[in-house]
């Protein structure tokens, strides 16, 4: 038990660049406090002691904003960063060296009994606000993108993004566990491609009209704005599309 608590403490320095000294970590990291209280409650839960383990978990929830059921199983080296709003259900299993950000839910779907919460493999990263629901398996070294909703099992060495979560295979590629914001965006790539194609076709259409009518052809910008409000300017560009392409969209 002592070695597990020590590993919980030491892993913070390896995985959080904001961790500067042991006093700050010991006093100011709710994820560490929640894990330590959970491990005490879990030990009592295994002894089948009634009420008290749940009471400890509720006290931990009140102090840290992190709710971990004492029946859950969490491996060594797990790190809950920030942690506010994290919920880990009774039958959840979290492998070694997992990294869980704030707002994550490892919950059930409300349709199952028995084993009804997810199982995370080793070295799994769950981005902020992600929801992993049901008796599913998240394979080793996989990453769940921030805000994703995962309802199906995920193979090892994969990345999941979107609602519902879609798997993007990245087998064999070594990635930083803290680099969970740089994840593939297949839906965004498709939309960006469509936008580029539409603009190319519109530009080609204007060029054809100009060639047919000669250099005296003038575009009536007011008319175009009435027909397509806020989607077309006199120079043929679409500001909202440019904004989307720079990342304001998906």
Per-residue pLDDT reduced to its tens digit, 158-194:
888 888 888 776 665 545 555 555 556 666 677 877 8
In percent, the amount of the chain with pLDDT more than 90 equals 36
Range of weakest confidence among 57-61, 229-233, 239-243: 229-233
pLDDT higher than threshold 60 for residue 86: yes
CA-to-CA dists, residue 130 to 93, 124, 166, angstroms: 16, 13, 13
- DSSP assignment string, 6-56: HHHHHHHHHH-TT---HHHHHHH-HHHHHHHHHHHHHHHHHTT--SHHHHH
pTM score, two decimals? 0.68
pLDDT band at 58 (very low <50, low <70, confident <90, very high): very high
Strand order across the beta sheet in which 131-133 lies = 67-68, 87-88, 105-107, 131-133, 149-150
> Tokens standing for 224?
């175009």
Report the distance separating Cα 146 and Cα 125, nearest Å.
Answer: 10
- The pLDDT of 36-61, averaged and rounded, is 93
Cα–Cα–Cα angle for 126, 138, 157, rounded to 5 degrees: 85
User: What are the residues whose beta carbons fall under 8 Å from the beta carbon of 61, sequence distance 6 or more?
Assistant: 67
**Is the confidence at residue 122, as pLDDT, over 90?**
yes
What the chain holds in terms of domains, given with CATH numbers, is 2-169 (2.160.10.10), 186-248 (no CATH)
Neighbours of 4 (CB within 10 A): 16
**Local confidence band at 240 (pLDDT 50, 70, 90 cut-offs):** low
What is the predicted pLDDT for the residue at 248?
A: 41
- According to DSSP, the β-strands at 137-138 and 166-169 are unpaired
Report the range of poorest mean pLDDT among 3-12, 27-36, 216-225.
216-225
């Amino acid at each position: 038990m002592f070695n597990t608590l020590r590993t919980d403490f030491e892993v913070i320095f390896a995985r959080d660049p904001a961790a500067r000294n042991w006093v700050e970590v010991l006093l100011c990291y709710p994820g560490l406090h929640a894990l330590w209280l959970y491990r005490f409650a879990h030990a009592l839960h295994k002894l089948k002691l009634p009420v008290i383990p749940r009471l400890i978990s509720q006290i931990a929830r009140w102090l840290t904003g992190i709710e971990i059921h004492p029946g859950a199983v969490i491996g060594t080296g797990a790190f809950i960063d920030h942690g506010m709003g994290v919920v880990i259900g009774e039958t959840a299993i979290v492998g070694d060296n997992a990294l869980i950000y704030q707002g994550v839910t490892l919950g059930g779907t409300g349709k199952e009994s028995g084993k009804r919460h997810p199982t995370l493999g080793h070295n799994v990263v769950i981005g902020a606000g992600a929801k992993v629901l049901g008796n599913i398996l998240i394979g080793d070294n996989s990453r769940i993108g921030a805000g994703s909703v995962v309802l199906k099992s995920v193979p090892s060495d994969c990345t999941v993004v979107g609602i519902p979560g879609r798997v993007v295979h990245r087998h064999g590629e070594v990635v930083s566990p803290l680099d969970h914001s740089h994840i593939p965006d297949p839906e965004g790539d498709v939309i960006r491609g469509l936008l580029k194609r539409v603009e190319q076709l519109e530009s080609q259409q204007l060029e054809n009209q100009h060639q047919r009518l000669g250099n005296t052809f003038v575009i009536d910008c007011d008319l175009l704005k009435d027909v397509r409000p806020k989607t077309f300017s006199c120079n043929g560009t679409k500001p909202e599309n440019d904004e989307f392409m720079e990342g304001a969209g998906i």
